[in-house]
Structure 1
Amino acid sequence: MTIVSDDFTLLSLTEIGDRIKRGSISSLAITEAQLRRIARLEPDLHAYAQVMDASALEQAKVADEEIAAGRHRGPLHGVPIAVKDLCWIEGVPTRAGTLVHGNFVPDEDATVVRRLRQAGAIIIGKTQMTEGAYSDYHPAITPSVNPWNADYWTGISSSGSAVAAAAGLCFGAIASDTGGSIRWPAAANGVTGLKPTWGRVSRHGVFDLAPSLDHIGTIARNAMDAGIILAAIAGSDPKDPTAAAQPVPDFASASRSGVGGLRIGFDPGWNSEDVEPQTQAALAAASDVFSDLGAHMVEIRFPDVSQAVADWVPNCAVEAAAVHARDFAANKDLYGPILAGVIEKGKAVSEAEYQQILLRRAIFRRDVEALFASVDLILTPVQPFAPLTLAAIATLGEQPDLIARLQRYTCPLDMSGHPALTFPAGVTKDEMPIGLQLLAGQFQELTLVRAGAAFQGHTAWHQRHPGKG
């Protein structure tokens, strides 16, 4: 057996995929190394709901045989990838962080899983998540732990995916974002998250939280890797009528494009009001990098997000109540208090109130899209304060103003459906990662990956690791 150093498990997806293609590393050897690392670190990090050791090793053997026979499928072939536990995998329990789905074993793969398999990826396990993809873990489930510092927040629902990517427990992961659940975990764990346009990726075989808000996307160590995974899973799907038919771009070409001539908007008021100094400093430094690379920084005025933030909770709640109607009525005692509370809140929203929310969403979506007539991208924080401790997060329920501040840069983009890329862009005085965000027009993910790759080609924030274990 070839022994592969753990150092290889911290390479980028692109690098490891190239080595597997060239035959300098076998898929089986790197999968074995990944599983050894998971076995050592997972007891402390709780990134996985289930590690799929046996099937991953079998997939890796098949990948090596195919590649040796000249049937290389692309950059994901033979590379271990994790899948958030709200995505169905045939024959594998899919619980979505709940007890109510504790006995559910799908008889088919989610479309995203099927497409990963078609690309030759090795499905190494299912990552842990908050209950039903809402804001907190079920009390019976152990939360994922931030690999940088166990006293800090890991973000919300896709926390397991981000922890696994940051700690070298996979080379990338499927994630989802309904109110910020790709972007908060990516920022908190120092990795890169790509929330695509709503509808870019099929939701067939993915447990819903709020269907009109749910975005299926990717978390990886850099923008190119996130884009490569997105390229594999995106596209129309006859099993999901909401999956968009727009052509899927060649994200691999993005690294060669640079940002010369791109117009990057920024709203100086929105980016600074109640934004703590460390995050403002990271924004200023990122602006300088983009300018040095040839982008034009353009001052803009972003639409007021206060109503969109206020509308997000009732919008999500109504849809969550509909999604869980049958299970909640039959098994309410299996629900944790946070998800149960939002379902009850959704049941109390009137038809008239919900209709008004939908109308305001349409106006907000139009106003956001209009900005991209004058700029290509918009640079913002992910959150207005430094990485949050678990102690601070524990007080959020008592501070509605703090919750609204936290949601200010994430929820509006789920309400409008626009794509966003979160990337590491600095560290705090306590050596915790600071993440920033680029926004783009509908279906302009290629521009996001292009800009992210350019930034990461001239900075090293994405190359920091929380420890080699």
Structure 2
Amino acid sequence: MHPYEMTALQAGAAIRARELSPVELLDSVLARIEAVDDRVGAFVTVTEDFAREAAQRAADEIAQGHDRGPLHGVTVGVKDLVDTAGIRTTSSSRTMADNVPTCDAAVVERLAEAGAVMVGKTHTHEFAFGVITPTTRNPWNLDHIPGGSSGGSGAALAAGMCHLAIGTDTGGSIRIPASVNGVVGLKPTYGRVSRRGIASLSWALDHVGPMARTVADAAAMLQALAGYDRSDPGSRDVPAADYAATLGEGVAGMRLGLPRTYFFDNVDPAVEAAVRAAADRLAEAGAEVVEVDVPVPEAYMPTEYMIFLSEASAYHQTRIREQAEDFEPDVRLLLEAGEMLLATDYIKALRVRTLIQNGWRDLFERPLDAVLAPTLPNVAAKVGQKEFTHGEAEAIIDSYVRLSAPGNLTGLPALSVPCGFDGQGLPIGLQVLGRPFDEATVLRVGAAWESINPDAGQMPNLI
């Protein structure tokens, strides 16, 4: 096994046992980037000099007995709308091509405290306003998209170009690329991880969280990221759990909901079959799987779009007036559409969101420990594809956001974990949604599935 193929925790354990140095690990990752990123296009900027300094610093600290924990010396990619002091942060946009922040985002600070080594800035769909990430390709099949908006992070992880990655999620932008790239992505509870220093798409819906190759890696990364930050108005002062403590406890005795409708409407048959099979396997492992009806499903998409279109246009109002020609056409169109929405309709959407949140609260009080669902209705679209045509035709963005939006509107923790492949060999994702601030249970369910998933741990064959 090459060091770049290790999981984050495997690499961290080897470093702490003095079997591998952070410098050797970084060398392996940089060589991998050199070998494959010209085809994948995951990185905006590779921060080799910065990474070498950080890796050597980690090596020196470990030699002196200063152990920062399981991520000490492990490589991480950071989405390019997350501020990094002294390092260009472009949001994959021409409007920000020369932007060099003076301060790190909160999540970058926390990863540095954990001793992680940033290897570069990963591409996003411009300002996180899309699900394609057109600069980047899917490592499982380069003719397909990596999803978005955290497409660079998902592709970099799948291709072995980093061990961990930061993603953000407003309408599924952690879980979408996690699903189509065959990696793990966790959108924590709203307020669990600080968004300070991150370009916003929608203040009411934005989340930031870990992406990794295994559930245990995601849990370790969340442990480093979670915590209250008074400088983020959405941050909540709720103590973090020990996310690794219960990962191996399985699902025996748990009650898991499986939606009757909505999450299985207009879904690729291969996706539906894989997710239902996973639910059956979890039932065999001791969980009680019960069918449930999700609340007010007709409201999810109009509410999601009304909120994030309005708030994105407000955030970019000056920029769209002064630099309209520098935006990509799809993003410019959405920003201009947001200018046409009425404030009264935006306020109504916020009120409907409260009804949705209350409905999901009642659903979990049945009681349920978690809800299982497909992450996406479909696998990775082909580059240039406009819509999915099995069943009722549906635009790519609508398809990908449709099953992700409930997690953003409710703010509930939502995990995507690999769930097999379709007939083309493209990854499928299983989504696990949980109670507010109960990421530990969501991760425990994901780890239980991962432990019995025959396809767990596979990486694409990029030569």
Smaller-chain TM-score bracket: over 0.9
Equivalent residue of 2:257, what SS? strand
User: Could you say which residue in structure 1 is the equivalent of 2:428?
Assistant: 434
* Aligned-residue offset at 1:296: 1.2
Indicate which of 405, 412, 426 corresponds to 1:418: 412
User: Could you say which residue in structure 2 is the equivalent of 1:443?
Assistant: 437
Alpha-carbon RMSD across the aligned residues, in angstroms, is 1.8
Structure-2 separation of matches of 1:14 and 1:293:
25
Please tell me whether residue 407 in structure 1 is matched to residue 401 in structure 2: yes
Structure-1 separation of matches of 2:200 and 2:420:
34
* Aligned-residue offset at 1:391: 4.0
Letter of the aligned partner of 1:268 in structure 2?
Answer: R
User: Could you say which residue in structure 1 is the equivalent of 2:84?
Assistant: 89
5+ long unaligned stretches in structure 1: none
Identity %: 35
Q: Does the aligned pair in 2 maintain the 1:197–1:443 contact within 8 Å?
A: yes
Indicate which of 374, 383, 389 corresponds to 2:382: 389
1:49-60 paired onto structure 2 within 5 Å: 49-60=44-55
* Aligned-residue offset at 1:134: 0.5
Please tell me whether residue 460 in structure 1 is matched to residue 454 in structure 2: yes
Indicate which of 125, 129, 136 corresponds to 1:134: 129
Structure-1 separation of matches of 2:12 and 2:462:
20
User: Could you say which residue in structure 2 is the equivalent of 1:317?
Assistant: 309
Q: Does the aligned pair in 2 maintain the 1:278–1:386 contact within 8 Å?
A: no
User: Could you say which residue in structure 2 is the equivalent of 1:170?
Assistant: 162
User: Could you say which residue in structure 2 is the equivalent of 1:240?
Assistant: 232
Range 111-120 or range 344-353, more displaced: 344-353
* Aligned-residue offset at 1:415: 1.4
Indicate which of 253, 271, 290 corresponds to 1:261: 253
Structure-2 separation of matches of 1:102 and 1:387:
28
Letter of the aligned partner of 1:410 in structure 2?
Answer: S
* Aligned-residue offset at 1:399: 6.0
Letter of the aligned partner of 2:368 in structure 1?
Answer: V
User: Could you say which residue in structure 2 is the equivalent of 1:45?
Assistant: 40
Q: Does the aligned pair in 2 maintain the 1:176–1:215 contact within 8 Å?
A: yes
Structure-1 separation of matches of 2:233 and 2:303:
25
Equivalent residue of 2:430, what SS? strand
Please give the per-residue CA displacement for 1:1-37, whole angstroms capped at 9, x wherever unaligned: xxxx6x2211111111111111100011010111011
* Aligned-residue offset at 1:468: 5.3
* Aligned-residue offset at 1:238: 2.3
Equivalent residue of 1:392, what SS? coil
Structure-1 separation of matches of 2:270 and 2:131:
27
Q: Does the aligned pair in 2 maintain the 1:200–1:443 contact within 8 Å?
A: yes
Indicate which of 14, 27, 31 corresponds to 2:22: 27
Letter of the aligned partner of 1:289 in structure 2?
Answer: R
Please give the per-residue CA displacement for 1:385-433, whole angstroms capped at 9, x wherever unaligned: 343222434689x966665443321112211111110011111111111
Equivalent residue of 2:244, what SS? helix
Residues 188 and 361 from structure 1, CA distance in 2 versus in 1: closer, same or farther, beyond 3 angstroms? same
Equivalent residue of 2:55, what SS? helix
Q: Extract structure 1 runs of 4+ deviating beyond 6 A.
A: none
Q: Does the aligned pair in 1 maintain the 2:176–2:400 contact within 8 Å?
A: no
Q: Does the aligned pair in 1 maintain the 2:130–2:397 contact within 8 Å?
A: no
User: Could you say which residue in structure 2 is the equivalent of 1:61?
Assistant: 56
In the superposition, the TM-score normalised over structure 1's length comes to 0.94
Letter of the aligned partner of 1:419 in structure 2?
Answer: P
Structure-1 separation of matches of 2:316 and 2:400:
26
- Number of residues paired by the alignment? 460
Range 334-343 or range 187-196, more displaced: 334-343
